[in-house]
Amino acid sequence: MPDVELDFSREEYATRLAKVRSAMESKDIDVLVSADPSNMSWLTGYDGWSFYVHQCVVLSLEGDPFWYGRGMDANGAKRTVFMQNENIIGYADDYVQNPQKHPMDYLSDIFREKNWAEKTIGVEKDNYYFSASCLESLQQNLPKTTLTDATGLVNWQRTVKSHHELKYMRKAARIVEKM
């Protein structure tokens, strides 16, 4: 594992992933694409202000998730997530604001390499950070994939707070009280 100072233990992240995977299984989702910055952080520890470009965390039913985003932002991911560096995938700058190619085109290539091109993929359709262009790119590039709405799937797993989350919340409350 990379030598990253995490806000939560690796065991906590494993518990979070297990909760999300259980929810994925109940909705027959094989692979989840989460583009919501709060969900990305909760799932992996990712802490970056690069949500102005396409990025996401991809979680399958097995193994570690991977962070996907602009190549220059991958260094931030390497310093904040619990996963190995090979699970941090950056795309080139020529995908940014390019009407000829979209970052999800490159993500589709990765899905084909992982043999996920015919799986059921959950996406956060009603999320500010997952655009219509994202969906169109995945539909065009992965025609045998079933794309299903996974809006709120991770959010609902976040509702029951862990001991450590409650500890942080209480600490924040004390700070606010003193202000």
In angstroms, the CA 47 to CA 106 distance is: 23
Average pLDDT, the chain: 95
pLDDT one-digit tens code per residue, 61-115 = 999 999 999 999 999 999 999 999 999 999 999 999 999 999 999 999 999 999 9
**Amino acid present at 85:** N
Whole-prediction pTM: 0.93
Q: What is the pLDDT of residue 6?
A: 85
Percent of the chain past pLDDT 90, that is, above it, reads 92
With a cut of 90, say whether residue 2 has pLDDT above it: no
What distance, in Å, lies between the first and last C-alpha atoms of the chain?
39
Alpha helices in 45-162 (DSSP H): 74-78, 103-113, 132-141, 153-157
